[in-house]
Each structure stands twice: as structure tokens, then as C-alpha cells.
């Protein structure tokens, strides 16, 4: 079926790029832990006529007319999000995870206020206070790290001492490259001790939380959760802010998102979020979330068997961070390119206190959300890990060619699904 017949007729260059990307995804394997495949229903919502509509404001309080159906869409998205994450309030308008974090900061802070967040080199995110971001010109960011990079243990004692000293307005948990589960009780305890708001950025593990395969920070007293809606949640690229129970905080966040930070929400994107949230509410999504972690453990066992160095010694979630420099004598950038030639897509990534440059670091980051969507189980996940080791060890054209042939067979045997039952 030609889904793009109009583009094919009217814009051959874009048609060629889109179909080329679809072929790449179909014949290769996506291991970037922040990527996934969406259902046909999510795609259809993204391509709907809702893209034509301006809807500044919130349901029942818009600045333009003609909002009967947009209000229905956004209300459905909000109610489904609240149910998924046990939240009293949800804002589904942020265009991305970074937008969600920035709006949250501006909702709760004044210029010069302090946030205590995870150091980027130890697994944090750019929006958690990396010096390259403009946020650091407005707010003061202090950072905490792991106490032991071999186990992943956070130095909670040092975090408490730092919090007592700097008196942050926000204590921020969450990560983009941390394979372990955080001790949410300790975060909340420290935040309450110093009078800080506790925020968890669940962007990477939102689907695991929604599928009840990972702990929900709200169960431990966190005030706010920010997230993307893709990654493990398997929705469209976008963001969201969830509030456990404070109406005051929710009102501040709504004002910060609109009109403070964004203009008209992307209603087609919000419709796609609602579809994805509906899919995540199905019983099958719990099996999916559990299988993500099971598949990660299957890959972990292979790397342990071959004595490859994994940061934090393994994984509790959907991702693995591998020190390829120490394990195979190859840089992260080289490993990314080599595996890409074999049909395995992942990303180079800095490891804790990396001595190499950011664009060619010591590590690679990869995970199992997209593989699991394609129906991979432990046997196939383990085989992918073995192929990765074979390529990284041999680093020859012949090894890459053999790997590419096997990866293509695995991919075509597990086609990207059109729907999630």
C-alpha cells in the first residue's frame, strides 16, 4: 500500500527521503534507547486535519473559536495521562521534553534560584544544567554524581550535604544515560528537609512506569514529573508535565507553558499523544514494558560473559552504557559508525568522568525499547549483543558484511508492527 502517493506525485525529493528512511528502519535495528516505533494510529493522528487548528489556551478557555473537537482531544489526552501515571494534574502541551523542563523551571523559579541535578557525565541531561545551555545563564545549577560508577550508587550523603549548603529550590532526579533505578525515598527526604520541590524527569522510563515495570516516583512523594511522550512510552515526539496533587503548582505550570513559553499547541501532536496513552492503558502494554527489561538483561548477560565493561555493572531498565574504549580499544564514535554499517543504530556516549572528547567519547549507549516493539524476545536480544561483540572485536569488512546480513534477516523476520493489540 502506497501511503505517500500524494507526496510521491507532488514532491519526489521528499518522497525519496521518507521511503529511504522507512527502508532503513525496516532492514536495520534501532538500539538508540530514546527511539521507538509508533503505531499506524499514532501516525494517522499526527497527519490529521488537527494540524490546521490554532488552539491557544486550554480546554474550555481558548482564545480562538471552533474548539469543540480540539477540546475533546486535549481532555482525553489529559485524563489518560493522569490515569497512567497516578497524577492529579497533567499538561500535555509541551512540544518536547526540553520544553517541559524549561517551562517547569520558569513556573517555579526566579532568575538566580538554584537547582540540584544529576551531572551530565554521570547520566544527566543537557536541560539538567549543562554549562552549554542558556538555562545556566538564568538559574544556578549544582550537580550530584555517582559514588561508585561500577555499581551506579548515587552519593546520597554528599547530595544531602550539598542540599543543606546551597538550599536549592528544586531537587531534580532523572537521567538520559543512567542504567539503574534511583532511590526515590532519599530524593524526597532530602528535598523536604531543605524545603525544595522534588522533580523527576522520567523521559527515558515513562513507558516502564506506565507499564508498571518500574517504580512510580509519585508513590514516593515526588511533587512533579516531566517527560517526553516517545521513547519507552511509544508515542509521538513530544513532552508532558505531571503534578502529583498540588493545584497551586499545576496552575503555575499551565501559565508557564502558555502563554509563558509556547504559543498555540500542536493539536495533531496532542491527538497522537492521546492515542498512545490509550494504547499504554491496555493490558498488553504491561507485558511490553516488562519484556523491555527482560531483553535488556539478556543483552547484559552476553556482555558480562565477554567481560565487557558496562557502566554501573549492568542495567535495571531499558538501556546499557558500554565502555568500548576499555573493552575493545575503540572509541565511541568509531563504534557507532562501525555498527551502523552493520545495520545496528545506536549512539556514542560519554561515560562517567570521560577523558575523551564529547564528539568521540569512550562509550556507546543502546537499549531495547524498539527491539521489543518488533517482538524480539531474550534469544534474539542476546544474539544482537553477540553480533555487536563480534563486530567490535574483529572490526573487519568481512565481519561487518556477515553482521549486516544476519541483522537484516532478524529485522525482516520481525517487521515493524502497524498496531499494538
Residues 239 and 331 in one domain: no
Write down the catalytic residue from 44, 56, 340, 354: 56
**Residue that the C-alpha cell 531534580 belongs to:** 172
Write down the catalytic residue from 228, 232, 345, 368: 228
Residues 203 and 128 in one domain: yes
d(CA 382, CA 399): 18
Residues 102 and 208 in one domain: yes
Pick from 259, 280, 301: which residue ends a domain?
A: 280
Domain coverage including residue 302: 10-33+283-413
pLDDT computed for residue 122 by the predictor: 81
Residues 20 and 88 in one domain: no
Residues 242 and 373 in one domain: no
CATH code, 28: 3.90.1150.10
pLDDT in tens, the chain (421 residues): 578 999 999 999 999 999 999 999 999 999 999 999 999 999 999 999 999 999 999 999 999 999 999 999 999 999 999 999 999 999 999 999 999 999 999 999 999 999 999 988 888 888 887 778 889 899 999 999 999 999 999 999 999 999 999 999 999 999 888 999 999 999 999 999 999 999 999 999 999 999 999 999 999 999 999 999 999 999 999 999 999 999 999 999 999 999 999 999 999 999 999 999 999 999 999 999 999 999 999 999 999 999 999 999 999 999 999 999 999 999 999 999 999 999 999 999 999 989 999 899 999 999 999 999 999 999 999 999 999 999 999 999 999 999 999 999 999 999 999 999 7
Long-range contacts of 7-14 (CB under 8 A, 24+ apart): none
pLDDT computed for residue 14 by the predictor: 97
CATH code, 261: 3.40.640.10
Phi, psi for 202 (deg, rounded to 5): -100, 15
Residues 185 and 301 in one domain: no
Q: Are 231 and 36 in contact (CB under 8 A)?
A: yes
Residues 140 and 196 in one domain: yes
175 in a structural domain: yes
Residues 329 and 403 in one domain: yes
Set of cell numbers at residue 420: 499494538
Write down the catalytic residue from 30, 74, 119, 201: 201
Residues 407 and 297 in one domain: yes
Q: Are 170 and 116 in contact (CB under 8 A)?
A: yes
- Is 237 catalytic? The answer is yes
Q: How many CA atoms lie within 13 A of 267 on its CB side?
A: 24
- Is 201 catalytic? The answer is yes
Q: Give the number of other Cβ atoms within 10 Å of residue 119's Cβ.
A: 18
In whole angstroms, how far apart are CA 98 and each of 115, 123, 228, 249, 383? 15, 16, 8, 19, 35
101 in a structural domain: yes
- Is 114 catalytic? The answer is no
65 in a structural domain: yes
419 in a structural domain: no
The alpha carbon of 383 is separated from its chain's Cα centroid by a whole number of angstroms, namely: 24
- Is 64 catalytic? The answer is no
Count the domains in the chain: 2
- Is 231 catalytic? The answer is yes
Residues 258 and 345 in one domain: no
39 in a structural domain: no
pLDDT computed for residue 1 by the predictor: 57
Write down the catalytic residue from 237, 273, 309, 374: 237
pLDDT computed for residue 23 by the predictor: 96
Residues 275 and 330 in one domain: no
Cα angle 97, 103, 106; round to 5? 145
Three-class secondary structure assignment of the chain:
CCCCHHHHHHCHHHHHHHHHHHHHHHHCEECCCCCCCCCHHHHHHHCCHHHHCCCCEECCEECCCCCHHHHHHHHHHHHHHHHHHCCCEEECCCCCHHHHHHHHHHHHCCCCCEEEEECHHHCCCHHHCCCCCHHHHCCEEEEECEEECCCCEECHHHHHHHHHHHCCCEEEEECCCCCCCCCHHHHHHHHHHHCCEEEEECCCCHHHHHCCCCCCHHHHCCCEEEEECCHHHCCCCCEEEEECCCHHHHHHHHHHHHHHHCCCCCHHHHHHHHHHHHHHCCHHHHHHHHHHHHHHHHHHHHHHHCCCCEHHHCCCCCEEEEEHHHHHCCCHHHHHHHHHHCCEECEEECCCCCCCCCCCCCEEEEECHHHHHCCCCHHHHHHHHHHHHHHHHHCCHHHHHHHHHHHHHHHHHCCCCCCCC
Residues 331 and 274 in one domain: no
Smallest CA-to-CA distance from 318 within 265, 373, 395 is with 373
420 in a structural domain: no
Write down the catalytic residue from 80, 231, 244, 309: 231
Residues constituting the chain: 421
Write down the catalytic residue from 3, 54, 156, 220: 54
Note if the bond before 259 is cis, omega within 30 degrees. yes
Pick from 280, 314, 347: which residue ends a domain?
A: 280
Phi, psi for 359 (deg, rounded to 5): -85, -5
Amino acid at each position: 500500500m502506497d501511503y505517500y502517493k500524494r507526496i510521491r506525485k507532488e514532491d519526489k525529493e521528499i518522497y525519496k527521503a521518507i521511503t529511504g528512511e522507512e527502508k532503513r528502519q525496516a532492514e536495520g535495528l534501532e538500539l538508540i534507547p530514546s527511539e521507538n516505533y509508533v503505531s499506524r494510529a499514532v501516525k494517522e493522528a499526527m497527519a490529521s486535519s488537527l494540524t490546521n487548528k490554532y488552539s491557544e489556551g486550554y480546554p474550555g478557555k481558548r482564545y480562538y473559536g471552533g474548539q469543540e473537537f480540539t477540546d475533546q482531544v486535549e481532555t482525553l489526552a489529559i485524563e489518560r495521562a493522569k490515569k497512567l501515571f497516578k497524577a492529579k494534574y497533567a499538561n500535555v502541551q509541551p512540544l518536547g521534553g526540553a520544553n517541559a523542563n524549561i517551562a517547569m523551571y520558569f513556573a517555579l523559579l526566579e532568575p538566580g534560584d538554584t537547582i540540584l541535578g544529576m551531572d551530565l557525565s554521570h547520566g544527566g541531561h543537557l536541560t539538567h544544567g549543562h554549562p552549554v545551555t542558556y538555562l545556566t545563564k538564568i538559574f544556578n545549577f549544582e550537580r550530584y554524581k555517582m559514588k561508585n560508577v561500577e555499581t551506579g550508587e548515587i552519593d546520597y550523603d554528599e547530595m544531602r550535604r550539598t542540599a543543606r549548603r546551597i538550599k536549592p529550590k528544586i531537587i531534580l532526579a532523572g537521567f538520559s544515560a543512567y542504567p539503574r533505578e534511583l532511590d526515590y525515598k532519599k530524593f524526597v527526604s532530602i528535598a523536604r528537609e531543605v524545603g525544595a520541590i522534588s522533580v523527576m524527569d522520567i523521559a527515558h522510563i515513562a513507558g516502564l512506569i506506565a507499564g508498571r515495570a518500574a517504580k512510580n516516583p509519585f508513590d514516593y512523594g515526588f511533587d512533579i514529573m516531566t517527560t517526553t511522550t516517545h521513547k519507552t512510552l511509544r508515542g509521538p515526539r513530544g513532552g508532558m508535565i505531571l503534578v502529583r496533587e498540588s493545584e497551586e503548582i499545576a496552575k503555575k505550570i499551565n501559565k508557564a507553558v502558555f502563554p509563558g513559553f509556547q504559543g498555540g499547541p500542536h493539536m495533531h501532536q496532542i491527538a497522537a499523544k492521546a492515542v498512545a496513552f490509550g494504547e499504554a492503558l491496555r493490558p498488553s502494554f504491561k507485558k511490553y514494558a516488562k519484556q523491555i527489561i527482560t531483553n535488556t538483561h539478556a543483552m547484559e548477560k552476553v556482555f558480562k560473559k565477554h567481560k565487557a565493561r558496562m557502566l554501573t555493572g549492568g542495567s535495571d531498565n531499558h538501556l546499557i552504557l558500554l565502555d568500548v574504549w576499555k573493552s575493545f580499544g575503540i572509541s565511541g564514535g568509531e563504534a557507532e559508525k562501525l555498527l551502523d554499517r552493520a545495520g545496528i543504530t545506536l549512539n556514542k556516549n560519554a561515560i562517567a568522568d570521560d577523558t575523551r572528547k564529547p564528539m568521540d567519547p569512550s562509550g556507546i549507549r543502546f537499549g531495547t525499547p524498539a527491539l521489543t516493539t518488533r517482538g524480539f524476545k531474550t534469544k534474539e536480544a542476546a544474539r544482537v549483543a553477540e553480533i555487536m561483540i563480534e563486530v567490535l572485536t574483529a572490526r573487519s569488512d568481512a565481519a561487518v558484511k556477515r553482521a549486516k546480513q544476519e541483522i537484516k534477516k532478524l529485522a525482516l523476520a520481525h517487521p515493524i508492527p502497524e498496531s499494538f493489540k
